[in-house]
Amino acid sequence: MHHFHYINGELHCEQVPVRRIAGAVGTPFYLYSHATLAHHFRTFDAAFAGYPHLICFAVKSNSNLAILRLMISLGAGVDIVSGGELFRSLQAGVDPMKVVYSGVGKSKDEIRRAIKAGILMFNIESSQELGEISRLAGRLRTKARIALRINPDIDPQTHPYISTGLKKNKFGIDIEQALKDYRRARELPHIEVVGVACHIGSQITELGPFLEAVQRLKELIRKLELEGIRIRYLDLGGGLGITYDQETPPHPRDYGAALVKELQGLDCTLILEPGRVLVGNAGILVTRVNYTKDTEAKHFIIVDAGMNDLARPSLYGSYHAVWPVVEKDRPEVTASLVGPICESGDFLAKDRPMPAFAPGELVAVMSAGAYGFSMSSNYNSRPRVPEILVKDRAFYVIRKRETYRQLIRGESIPDFLER
Ligand code: LLP
């Protein structure tokens, strides 16, 4: 569900013509719909109404301050994986008691900052990290609340780069090892054990792997309780998939109902860390055709956005639908929508039927709200593009286009290179 739709042949975001925004801010740009974001959060949240829960938005999926503020204002906490994400989230006004912090490589500085901020819990990913957090909390004369992130060894049936709960992945702690680490954690004076966590992967389109994960965690929680270790939070991570093309992921309502059913009898607060399902289909990337080019083998449509702006197609071979901003009567062609970056891997859509776009036309690359801007880079010294938020009939620039000056911010030429 989203609020990108045609009115008299023109693509609108809510009540605003996309073409008007392109005229005002130039291309390329990311465009988000407030109504879609709010609807997605409320639907997801409502799916768990029957059980005590906290929705911690995965900041990595879209970390713009305005998006964070919107989620927070709707009641969300955040799932963070770096000091930078902690900083952003605090700037956006998050309640530290709604912050969970995952990641296999937390630095000392990041850990200290999170302890000082008073976050809800660290999701610990190794025995060494447990020791380190305990030591740093001791130095700060306080206690750190923790969960162990379990690696439940479940195949989420998704792209290998975004599977995280298999034994061969770098994430989490082996479920057998976890028991030992919990016993040790209980003895550490600067650690307070509060939870069990896991996150098995992303863009998961079946319920099965989630239910399997809950079952494994439930078993572990029971074992811990027998040893007098009381678990207050069960964090299931994120991962619910969306429709990019033909996928049919479970509706959040069904996902929620199935999980809540599985959790009956367990006296915990459920934490979820959704990213993609909240923001993925709430955003698009708008780009303009610069040229078309026919080679003996192929038809290329060359646009002004590239793999530095949207990395997903190049990185994962992922599919994003391509829509015209102004509908016209015209043939379909089999083409590749490519960017200006000097790499053959620079494509937004590859060898696919699409409208025969002409130079000057605007193209909407759909489902780009998650892991779009947040994964963008300055490769080829391209300024990062603006982000725009539409609400009803108005649009707001929530991040300006970078300038060339900003591209070289922080760089300097040492004296010996003086001309
Ligand atoms: N929690 C943890 C600990 C995670 O590592 C992730 C995503 C999430 C929550 C949110 O997962 P989601 O609900 O968005 O599936 N760049 C890739 C996705 C990487 C996901 C990394 N972790 C992509 O563009 O598909």
pLDDT one-digit tens code per residue, 354-403: 999 999 999 999 999 999 999 999 999 999 999 999 999 999 999 999 99
Following DSSP, what letter does each residue of 348-399 receive, concatenated? EEEEEEEE---TT-EEEE-S-SSSSGGG---GGGPPPPPEEEEETTEEEEEE
Mean pLDDT of 281-305: 97
Locate the ligand 1 atom nearest the alpha carbon of residue 318 and give its number.
25
Note if 342 is an active site residue: yes
Mean pLDDT of 325-335: 95
The one catalytic residue among 13, 198, 268, 342: 342
Which pLDDT does position 169 carry in this prediction?
78
Sequence-distant (≥ 6) Cβ neighbours of residue 227 within 8 angstroms? 182, 183
| Protein residue with least CA distance to atom 5, ligand 1 | 199
Residue 300 lies in a domain: yes
Among the residues of 94-195, which ranges form H helices? 108-117, 127-139, 175-187
Q: Ligand 1 centroid to 375 CA: how many Å?
A: 12
Q: Ligand 1 centroid to 328 CA: how many Å?
A: 37
Distance between CA 403 and CA 407 in Å, rounded?
7
Q: Does one domain contain both 200 and 123?
A: yes
Sequence-distant (≥ 6) Cβ neighbours of residue 335 within 8 angstroms? 298, 299, 300, 301, 349, 351, 352, 353, 354, 356, 357
Q: Does one domain contain both 247 and 323?
A: no
Q: Ligand 1 centroid to 238 CA: how many Å?
A: 7
Q: Ligand 1 centroid to 236 CA: how many Å?
A: 12
Residue 63 lies in a domain: no
Q: Does one domain contain both 363 and 289?
A: yes
| Protein residue with least CA distance to atom 6, ligand 1 | 238
**Total domain count for the chain?**
2
Which among 43, 52, 61 has a CA at the least distance from the CA of 279?
61
Q: Does one domain contain both 258 and 401?
A: no
| Protein residue with least CA distance to atom 24, ligand 1 | 371
Pocket of ligand 1 (CB under 6 A): 58, 61, 79, 102, 162, 199, 202-203, 237-239, 273-277, 312, 316, 370-371, 375
Mean pLDDT of 67-87: 98
Locate the ligand 1 atom nearest the alpha carbon of residue 273 and give its number.
9
Distance between CA 347 and CA 340 in Å, rounded?
9
Angle formed at CA 17 by CA 11 and CA 23, multiple of 5 degrees = 115
Query: Taking the CB of residue 154, how many other CB atoms lie within 10 A of it?
Result: 23
As a residue count, the chain comes to 419
Mean pLDDT of 185-210: 97
pLDDT interval class at 259 (50, 70, 90): very high
C-alpha radius of gyration, the chain, whole number: 23
pTM (2 d.p.): 0.97
Mean pLDDT of 43-54: 97
Among candidate residues 213, 238, 272, the one where a domain is terminated: 272
Q: Does one domain contain both 258 and 284?
A: no
Q: Ligand 1 centroid to 409 CA: how many Å?
A: 30
CA dihedral 72, 244, 102, 250 (to 10 degrees): 80
Q: Does one domain contain both 136 and 249?
A: yes
Which among 299, 333, 321, 310 has a CA at the least distance from the CA of 379?
310
Q: Does one domain contain both 235 and 286?
A: no
Q: Does one domain contain both 268 and 342?
A: no
Q: In this predicted model, what pLDDT tens digit does every residue of 102-116 receive, in sequence order?
A: 999 999 999 999 999
Among candidate residues 272, 297, 316, the one where a domain is terminated: 272
Top mutation candidate among 273, 281, 320, 376 for ligand 1, by most atoms within 8 Å of CB: 273
Among candidate residues 272, 302, 322, the one where a domain is terminated: 272
pLDDT interval class at 156 (50, 70, 90): confident
Which pLDDT does position 395 carry in this prediction?
98
Which pLDDT does position 153 carry in this prediction?
85
Q: pLDDT averaged over the chain?
A: 96
Q: Which domain holds residue 162?
A: 103-272
